[in-house]
Amino acid sequence: MISHRCNHVRVLYLFLAAVLCRPAPAQDSARLSDHNFHTWYMYFGDHPLGESRWGIHFDGQFRRQGIGQRWQQLLLRPGVNYDLTAKLQLSGGYAFIRSHPYGDYPAKFVTPEHRIWEQFIVKNKVGEVGLTHRFRLEQRFIGVKVPDGDGRGRIDRYSLRHRFRYFIKGVVPIRRDAAGNNRYYLGLYNEIMFNFGREATTTFDQNRAYAALGIRLPRVGNLELGYLQQTVQQGNGRVIEFNHTLQIGIFSTLKIGR
């Protein structure tokens, strides 16, 4: 019992260290801060295809300003999974994103983005705490708009930008059901993102620090209700966003077929 508690403390310490010591843009007198509140309604599905190693991934996220007053962003991300082992998974796919202006320093237009992504997931445990590491590469084709007659802008071209993301999540059991599954748990993650490539205007893109209460949903998966602190450096390099975000997410691993 003491050993398990010590492991829990070590994992929590690692998460706190990741959040407190994460890289952040250098501050100077020319930088501007923008504080916002958002709500993200999310579905994440990783659905195995029968007993094979293949599976289908899909996540849809409806990101809203405030509780839901106006759009912040729409994200639709389908993909394919392949399990190398029970703890190693390869995935890849496509994503469509539509970003809307928000905050005190908004973008000029609603912006579309087409994205190709590849990722590698590693899972392990420290005592009773389950850990997930995700390494993701993205090729982002972002619409560049110019003014037109109706004020909504027209797409002049697509800018190719590359991004690397590292994500670590820990699941700390609070209470288990009769089958040994986490009926209630604490979910913690940190994700950091870096831009690279010829058209990258900044290196640091954003950091996401998250804490949530998770509840097991019989036959469906899990429900998580949490808080996300999103720190974003805008492409101009001058504006730093501090977005306080309520997240409501369903995570499903329902099998497709036999």
pLDDT in tens, 215-231: 999 888 999 999 999 99
pLDDT given for residue 1 in this prediction = 46
How many Cβ atoms from other residues are within 10 Å of residue 178's Cβ?
Answer: 6
The beta strands (E) that lie in 66-203 are given as: 70-83, 88-99, 111-126, 129-146, 154-176, 182-196
> What tens digit of pLDDT does each residue of 97-133 get?
999 999 999 999 999 999 999 999 999 999 999 999 9
**Average pLDDT, rounded, for the chain:** 90
How many Cβ atoms from other residues are within 10 Å of residue 208's Cβ?
Answer: 21
> φ, ψ for residue 9 (rounded to 5)?
-65, -40
Whether the per-residue pLDDT at 41 is higher than 60: the answer is: yes
Residue 212 buriedness (CB in 10 A; 0-12 / 13-18 / 19+): buried
The answer to whether 76 and 42 have CB atoms below 8 angstroms apart is: no
Spatial neighbors of 143 by CB under 8 A, at least 6 apart, are 111, 112, 113, 155, 158, 159
Q: Determine whether domain 2-24+34-252 maps to CATH 2.40.160.
A: yes
Q: What is the mean pLDDT of residues 186-215?
A: 96
